[in-house]
Structure 1
């Protein structure tokens, strides 16, 4: 390797280090996606709700190979309190899961815990009604823990790792600081922090706004 190549590589490395220092000092900027209530279903449950052999149809592509489907269902909590038009996200999963806000949980009359997606053990029970049938989940209704999706390059630039817990700040008129934000890193992810509708409304944040990782 000649001296000119060595000098170029050294310059690039130093610039990357300075960029990471600047990000750490000023706070790494992250766009926000506000996540509305939705449901993930197994294929067995899709068929129970929509009919034998039924396949979800795609409405909108999401990150990580997921998509919003055209299909919706009604979720029913205690005392037959219901919320209609809950969007199904595909593709199908190995376990069904309902994600709601705290306000939704009150409306349904269920005690949904704050959990990372997929951690449904001992969570709230809920019924799901489709056009062709009904299923009852003994557990599976949660309030999703706020989190940031990142590709590995974003995590490196921000100086964080998969599973880290950070705080972020919204520099708007509310000036809200969110603690206990989990970092989730995967090659398929696009940089975005996910909060639910309650958190968004309280902090006056909309999809497309940005926040900064502060620690």
Structure 2
């Protein structure tokens, strides 16, 4: 009888952990270097009247990878074939990793997307012209997109910072993960290549928000 009770207790604890994991788990999207462009800069790069053309949809609704690519050049080096993500934005932005910054020769800050004040600039080179940005290069702050009902279920809100646990061969914990909440979002955590490689993460792996 004692063994039966112990087995039931263990099974209960296991199911509690499974349910907790299913509640708090978040799919991962690994973000390689990429650029966002304004319509003005797009036309400088590719010609007057140019419109972005879709290569494939991204998980976030309305976001997509474009067929168009540019060369990103810094004081020390460059990357060719850097993909543009659509749609166009009000201001151009270049998102790179810390490792990328060494090759380019810049020292970008870790910022939320769109927070560009005081960031270094880089050149974007297209088939029709070059855009020299005086600011706009960032290392994206790791973040999680989610809908309001998901945030409510987890007891968190927009702009909160949480801890996220990874699993597998290189188990780890990410701190200061920004929560971004909107009706327009699809549940997904975004990390760059440096962060993904540090914890052996791939696209569509799962991580879990840690309860405090």
Q: Secondary structure at the match of 1:78?
A: coil
Q: What is the match of residue 165 of structure 2? A: 169
Superposed CA deviations along residues 40-96 of structure 1, whole A, max 9, x for unmatched, are 0000000000001111101112213111111000000013x1001111011111000
For 2:143, which of 122, 142, 147 is the aligned residue? 147
Q: What is the match of residue 87 of structure 1? A: 83
Q: Secondary structure at the match of 1:198?
A: helix
Q: Secondary structure at the match of 1:103?
A: helix
Q: Which runs of 4+ in 1 moved over 3 A?
A: none
For these two proteins, the number of residue pairs brought into alignment is 193
Q: What is the match of residue 184 of structure 1? A: 180
Superposed CA deviations along residues 3-30 of structure 1, whole A, max 9, x for unmatched, are xxxxxxxxxxxxxxxx9xx64x887110
Aligned equivalents of 2:198, 2:190: Cα separation in 1:
14
Aligned equivalents of 1:115, 1:49: Cα separation in 2:
25
Q: What is the match of residue 137 of structure 1? A: 133
Superposed CA deviations along residues 152-181 of structure 1, whole A, max 9, x for unmatched, are 121122111111000000022211100000
TM-score by length of 1: 0.86
Q: What is the match of residue 39 of structure 2? A: 43
For 2:200, which of 184, 201, 204 is the aligned residue? 204
- How far residue 123 of structure 1 moved from its aligned partner, in angstroms, is 0.5
Gaps of 5+ in 1: 1-18
Q: What is the match of residue 76 of structure 1? A: 73
Aligned equivalents of 2:42, 2:35: Cα separation in 1:
11
TM-score by length of 2: 0.88
